[in-house]
């Protein structure tokens, strides 16, 4: 876990802190000296957990991708709106991460167990990268070189191609 960098009265709000990456992030911030409730105006940090799914349509996971796109868009908008206020907003956009959610998904879909280990993030590393990005005041953090490359490729490629590739990968993974 990260060393303490916050003052005893620093405050952080983390959405999705009940389990998985969010719970590990909450532990990081608590260990860093942060109170985990945003109660005062003028200082604090907001960390929203989105996904690399936010950057592209994913057929067969349309609602998930659209929801994460909303979280990313909201975070980016708030980050800009709050610039100079003392409150920063960060969207953490991990890829596939070794959490209980992945374990349940793998039970339901054996194809996920075939993912190469280098494509699966360690929850502690993802949380540490999210923590560091939030402390720096970054608007967006995509942990992992492969995840960042996939986001950049999705932004550069024609939309029709991104949809087709996403659909083909989802079907191959057993989504339909």
What is the widest separation between alpha-carbon atoms in the chain? Answer: 50
Distance of CA 148 to the CA centre of its chain: 12
H or E element in which residue 47 lies? strand 44-49
Task: Please say whether the beta carbons of 120 and 98 come within 8 A.
Answer: yes
Pinpoint the alpha helices (H) of the chain: 20-31, 62-81, 100-108, 123-136, 145-156, 159-172
Active site residue 64: yes
Residues with Cβ within 8 Å of 61's Cβ and at least 6 positions away in sequence, in order, are 53, 170, 175
* Per annotation, catalytic residue among 34, 64, 70, 131: 64
Task: Please say whether the beta carbons of 18 and 105 come within 8 A.
Answer: no
- The catalytic residue positions are 64
């Amino acid at each position: 876990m990260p060393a303490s960098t916050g003052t005893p009265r620093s405050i952080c709000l983390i959405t999705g802190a009940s389990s998985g990456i969010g719970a590990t992030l909450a532990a990081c911030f608590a260990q860093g000296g942060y109170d985990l409730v945003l109660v005062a105006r003028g200082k604090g940090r907001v960390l929203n957990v989105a996904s690399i799914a936010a950057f592209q349509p994913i057929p067969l996971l349309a609602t998930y991708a659209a929801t994460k796109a909303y979280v990313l868009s909201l975070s980016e908008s708030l980050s800009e709106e709050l610039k100079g206020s003392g409150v920063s907003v960060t969207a953490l956009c991990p890829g596939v991460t070794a959490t209980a959610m992945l374990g349940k998904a793998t039970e339901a879909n054996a194809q996920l167990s075939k993912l190469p280990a280098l494509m699966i993030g360690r929850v502690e590393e993802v949380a540490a990268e999210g923590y560091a990005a939030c402390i720096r005041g970054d608007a967006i953090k995509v942990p992992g070189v492969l995840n960042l490359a996939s986001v950049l490729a999705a932004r550069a490629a024609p939309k029709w191609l991104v949809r087709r590739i996403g659909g083909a990968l989802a079907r191959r993974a057993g989504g339909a």
